[in-house]
Chains A and B, each alone.
Chain A
Amino acid sequence: MKAFEYATALSTDSARQLVADHGAYLAGGNDLLGLLKEYLVSANTLVNIKSLPGLNQIEPGSKNWTIGALVTVAQIENSAEIKKVFPGLHEAASEVASQQIRNVATVGGNLSQHSRCWYFRHRDTICLKKGGDLCYARNGENRYHSLFAGNDCISPVVSNLATAFTALDATAVVLRDGKETRMSMAELYQKAWKETAAHNSLNPGDLILKIEIPTARSRSAYLQASDKHAFDWALVSCAAAAEVADGKLKSPRVALGCISPVPHQVQAANDFLDGKTLDDATVSKAADMILAGATPMEHNGYKVPLAHALIRRTLLKLKG
């Protein structure tokens, strides 16, 4: 990696100042160090934000829970309260990488992590996302890539937490230009839908401060399918959340990861599910709606039946 300066910020304002135009925030470092070592990003300053006050707390609330951006994935996994109130989030956290990685990985880092596309990550290929003129995956080995894409790059979002937060209708609070900006999960990623180089909507210097999760949906669930049984990326991930009263869904939301550059959600399917009772036919119809328009590539068509199964299973888990 290239040489860099290192600084520890004690306030968000100083963090923003220190990171300036060409720095990077360092929390768990799982993704950043890999990117630096492979020369995929360069940063003249690494600003350690682990000492920023107040960002490593899980704070319950009656309408919203707040999860600080520096909360580790392991903290979520180990929180009995989260497990009770947001089981889908708990399940998503438990599936992240390995125990060692979860111990240091932060919520903010998990959400802002870069593409895992093996062309993007390979030091000897200059793909579209790296400023090249071609998406190798489109014509090549695209087994791990998107079924939906808004631009020529087909690298999907792989954050487990983003999938769960989307279903829970969480909001990211982002420090931007000295102000706190609130972004839905859709907004947090929408730039990746449009722009090949983007993997989220954060501008240089933007810092995720916390996530707010409404308590409106007391049931939630998350499932992922991988090649292996542990310590593996999801091939497809799925989260669902809703309130359930008299066996009927209220304000249901379903989201999928790893099949689109953004957490995939279909409003029509959420609307369809609203007020419905969970049964095989209903969840299957919802899955059809969510996957309508999927465009399988040469090697990722299997994600269609896989996603279909996960949607059905995740929704049925909401029955409790």
Chain B
Amino acid sequence: MPSWPTNTKYISQSTPRVDAAAKVTGRARYSSDIQADGWLYGMILRSKWPAAKISGINLDKALQVPGIKAAITVRDGERTVRFCGEELAAVAGTTKQACLDALRAIEVKAQPLPFVVREDDAKKDNAPKVWEGAANASPGKSREQGTVDQAFAECAAVIEGFYTTPVQIHNPMEPHGNTVSWADDGLTAWSSTQGISSVRDGLAGALKLEHSQVRVITDFMGGGFGAKFGAGVEGVLAARLSRKAKAPVRLMLTRFDQALAVGNRPSSFQKIKIGALADGTLHAFEMNNYGTAGIGAGGDSGGGGGGADIPAPYIYKVPNTRVKQTHVAVNAGSARAFRAPGNPPASYGMESAMDDLAVKLGMDPLELRLKNDPNEIRQREYKTGAEKFGWKQKYQKPGSSPGIVKTGIGCAGAAWPAGGASKNTQGEAQINPDGSIEFRLGVQDLGTGTKTVIAVVAAEMLGLKPEQITVKVGDTNFPPGPGSGGSMTCASISPTVFDICTKALQQLQTQTGIADARGENWFAACKKLGVNPLVVHGQWLQGLSSDHACGVQFAEVTVDTETGLVTVKKVVAVHDCGLIVDKLTTESQVNGGIIMGLGYALYEERVMDDLSGVVLNPNFETYKLPGLADVPEIEIVLINMPERGVIGIGEPATVATAGAIANAVANAIGVRVSSLPITPAKVLAALGKVPPSTASKS
């Protein structure tokens, strides 16, 4: 069995990202920076109707707009659109304005249809059907263990709550999109993607090309959180426009587009009943949950959209459990995987219920968790975190903080049961006689530090410095790497680089006779290669990675009980991810996870209008994201566990934040805001300060 080196120089230390200078100086070229010869702008016309029969789309006038080189419909013939923002047509032209003018010149014959955008409305029997022939709400899945009803009767304390989370929109700093260049021998796509291989296969399939005719390149990427795996409608349209216009097409989405059609985190409406015995042992749990994935997966789940389920009772084990979950289709953009799918809403609901139960039991909520959390690592993390955070000194009974601006604390736990590694990961290194070395892996760096991880592992293994390692990723011409999802990238590539390095050293020994080519012997050994570089292939190895990262987070907030404003003062995050490869980029992942979780807790929410069916906040003015002034002091404690091998951290880092903040708010004001985001309006409502509406409607 291979094993990671101990007494390391770079692994588990802090190495700044290898492409930091390129990024901050603007030298890094993202997909939208590619200026292929004669390139055109591409843009998409979207449905302004939440539901409509489209009987015709006339592109003639669009094609007459000066500068327009191509215009296409997404699909020929009659069709039904099911959400505001669904793609209808696309144009390519020499300027942005030409494209905008062309989009306005396209004539669409549409017959609007009834629609529904609210989960509660969609569940009603007489609601307009999102999908013909299927109920909006799926029949639901149920599971039960133990004797739930009897168990509730045996409990010393039982609480019921209705915890809701909104649809969260994917808004990476770099929007979705591609620059696509079509040539006779195939096409090249510079894609903002989490999976260059899946984009290649998607484009090849849609355009009836062989895989070998499609090359996908992702040199640099500005973030992806689960919604950037396939070519997407926009990618296929860019390729078709390029073919038609015989010119490269850059089609990057706008923030408006992002709000509508690139996926989102489903909502959840969790009715939870939970009970414990007098000593705090969880005894009975019941949850009814529904949520929407928008138009979701359509009729294939027996009605409704797909994929709005959440794990319950999340990280806890309750002997008597009944869970029922339903998906509800609405006329809105569909869900896609979103950083730790299912987990942040599950954590928020369950951890809120735990704190409400602790209040009923008269227990310290941390004690209730230590009593019931079955995971030994989290037990350790809670204890470590509580010490750092000063939980014992800070804890006050809910609502007992004096004054108008009240202080509160809360905590919550995280799990990431998926993860692990992609066993098919491969890579190669070219070692040149001058000692320079280039690693090539068909993986992509979303901005998480993938290139840096490769450099760190290689430097450690070869006795070199990270800056001596050249790293190339993001090209389908390289040996295939994993899609970057499920927090699997680091655990896939680290063992692969390990294998490449091990084989390189063996090969160097064989070819040069130098027993140990590492470190100070490196250049002498490479020189002995003669004229031809050495190219070494490697692949993922068993035994150097694992899965199941955990984490706990503690939050301290102040709540102004007159303005409702929540200010997060501090977050202490204790996380494990096995062997930490690069401490600095790991901490960055945790920072980013917490900030994203903060947005989920306090600001982010897709607002649908039920009269017009539009997304009302398709911009950063009203789709609110945390800014620097909103971000608290963050203290990160990483538990390094080399014996477990490498585990990803991207997803678990964002799971617990919203639950911890929500619990801190409840602890501060003594009442629960049971709906995310926790806005001033909701805080004031929870405090009973909001008068009823007296205005007449229209």
Q: Which of the residues A1, A134, A139, A227 comes within 8 Å of B680, measured between beta carbons?
A: A227
B627–A231 contact, CB under 8 A?
yes
In the assembled complex, the Cα of A298 lies from the Cα of B618 at a distance in Å of 22
A301–B611 contact, CB under 8 A?
no
A139–B84 contact, CB under 8 A?
no
Q: CB-CB < 8 A to B628: which residues of A?
A: 230
Q: Which of the residues B562, B611, B629, B679 comes within 8 Å of A309, measured between beta carbons?
A: B562
B694–A295 contact, CB under 8 A?
yes
In the assembled complex, the Cα of A125 lies from the Cα of B611 at a distance in Å of 10
A297 at the B interface (CB under 8 A): yes
B610–A299 contact, CB under 8 A?
no
In the assembled complex, the Cα of A119 lies from the Cα of B618 at a distance in Å of 11
Q: Is the interface of B mostly helix, strand, loop or mixed?
A: loop
In the assembled complex, the Cα of A136 lies from the Cα of B611 at a distance in Å of 7
Q: Can you spell out 30 A-B residue pairs with CB atoms less than 8 angstroms apart?
A: A1-B97, A116-B621, A119-B609, A119-B616, A122-B616, A125-B612, A135-B698, A136-B612, A138-B697, A141-B607, A141-B609, A152-B698, A228-B624, A228-B626, A228-B627, A229-B629, A230-B628, A231-B629, A233-B621, A235-B680, A295-B694, A296-B690, A296-B691, A296-B693, A297-B695, A299-B681, A300-B681, A301-B690, A305-B562, A308-B562
A228–B693 contact, CB under 8 A?
no
Give chain B interface residues in 622-648, CB to chain A under 8 Å.
622, 624, 626-630
B565 at the A interface (CB under 8 A): yes
Q: Which of the residues A124, A125, A144, A296 comes within 8 Å of B694, measured between beta carbons?
A: A296
Q: CB-CB < 8 A to A141: which residues of B?
A: 607, 609, 616
Which residues of A are interface residues toward B (Cβ below 8 A)? 1, 116, 118-119, 122-125, 134-136, 138-141, 143-144, 152, 225-233, 235, 295-302, 304-306, 308-310, 313
Nearest CB on A from B120, distance (A): 15
Q: CB-CB < 8 A to A122: which residues of B?
A: 612, 614, 616, 618
Nearest CB on B from A135, distance (A): 6
A306–B612 contact, CB under 8 A?
no
In the assembled complex, the Cα of A309 lies from the Cα of B565 at a distance in Å of 12
Q: CB-CB < 8 A to B681: which residues of A?
A: 143, 235, 299-300, 302
B629–A124 contact, CB under 8 A?
no
B650 at the A interface (CB under 8 A): no
B616–A230 contact, CB under 8 A?
no
Q: Which of the residues B617, B630, B680, B690 comes within 8 Å of A230, measured between beta carbons?
A: B630
Nearest CB on A from B331, distance (A): 13
Q: CB-CB < 8 A to B224: which residues of A?
A: none
Nearest CB on A from B339, distance (A): 21
A125–B614 contact, CB under 8 A?
yes
Q: Which of the residues B48, B630, B685, B695 comes within 8 Å of A229, measured between beta carbons?
A: B630
Given A124-B612, A139-B611: 14 more A-B contacts, CB < 8 Å: A1-B100, A134-B698, A138-B697, A138-B698, A140-B609, A225-B563, A228-B624, A295-B694, A295-B695, A296-B690, A297-B693, A298-B693, A300-B681, A301-B685
Across the A-B interface, give the 4 residue pairs with the lowest CB-CB distance, nearest first.
A309-B562, A230-B629, A229-B629, A302-B681
B527 at the A interface (CB under 8 A): no
Q: CB-CB < 8 A to A313: which residues of B?
A: 562
Nearest CB on B from A284, distance (A): 12
B603 at the A interface (CB under 8 A): yes
Residue from B562, B603, B607 whose CB has the most chain A CB atoms within 10 Å: B562
In the assembled complex, the Cα of A35 lies from the Cα of B571 at a distance in Å of 40
